[in-house]
Amino acid sequence: MKKIAILQSNYIPWKGYFDMINMVDEFVLYDDMQYTKRDWRNRNLIKTQHGIMWLTIPVVTKGRFEQKIRETEIVSSKWCMEHWNALQMNYAKATCFNIYKTRIFELYKRCEDEKYLSRINYLFLTEICDILNITTKITYSSDYTLYDGKTEKLVGICKQTDAYEYISGPAAKDYIHPQMFADAGIKLTYMDYSGYSEYPQLYGEFVHGVSILDMLFNLGEQTTYFMKSFH
């Protein structure tokens, strides 16, 4: 019996995403869901001296209105060095940038050979989990049988993973039917993203909702002291 979470993959997500991974025994990437434009699937925020900035992976969307996240393809590999150069330009003076720069650069070089967004997100997630010493098993929803119905899909994955508890993102309250989890004997809890402490950050006013790379470059090994699941 174990605790699981099921969430769409994001590109270099923020600290809350990694806290959720660290809080469970298995984290299922819900990449059988429909790809959504202008979302966190293929982009995230960093801080610059001119304010926050989007790093966006260009993906093929024309004529593919119902494509799944795992089916979403990259336009070209040019984004890899563009994103790396943006990180280098804006974080070179961060206290711990030099600790991770080679590892992150090599990760971007690996991504130049990748065709699918889901695979790129997986590479970043697993690499950053390794940096943070998060050992949670990460799987794909396509590893399991998916049933009809939004809540039915989630409960079905929980049953197949032998889960006793499911941790959901708070936004899912809009569509989840709690009774289905209760009927299946699965405890349903919601992630609480409030109450994070501020940390030393470059470029003026503090911003919580940026990529976790901001924490790593500014804090290094102190990153986990400013996260919830490590205490």
Compute the distance between CA of residue 49 and CA of residue 43 in angstroms, rounded to an integer: 19
Q: What is the pLDDT of residues 119-134, one digit of tens each?
A: 999 999 999 999 999 9
Residue 136, pLDDT > 90, answer yes
Q: Can you give the pLDDT at residue 220?
A: 98
Q: How far apart are CA 110 and CA 183, in angstroms?
A: 45
Q: Where are the alpha helices (DSSP H) in 76-222?
A: 78-91, 97-111, 117-131, 150-160, 178-183, 212-219
Neighbours of 185 (CB within 10 A): 9
pLDDT-derived band at 1 (thresholds 50, 70, 90) equals: confident
Confidence at residue 231, expressed as pLDDT on a 0 to 100 scale: 85
Q: Is the dihedral of CA 100, 14, 32, 134 positive or negative?
A: positive
pLDDT digits (tens, 9 = 90+) for 197-219: 999 999 999 999 999 999 999 99
Residue range 88-121, pLDDT digits in tens:
999 999 999 999 999 999 999 999 999 999 999 9
Please state, in angstroms and rounded to a whole number, the distance separating the CA atoms of residues 17 and 211.
10
Query: What is the DSSP annotation of 13-42?
Result: --HHHHHHHHTSSEEEE-TTSBP-TTSSSS
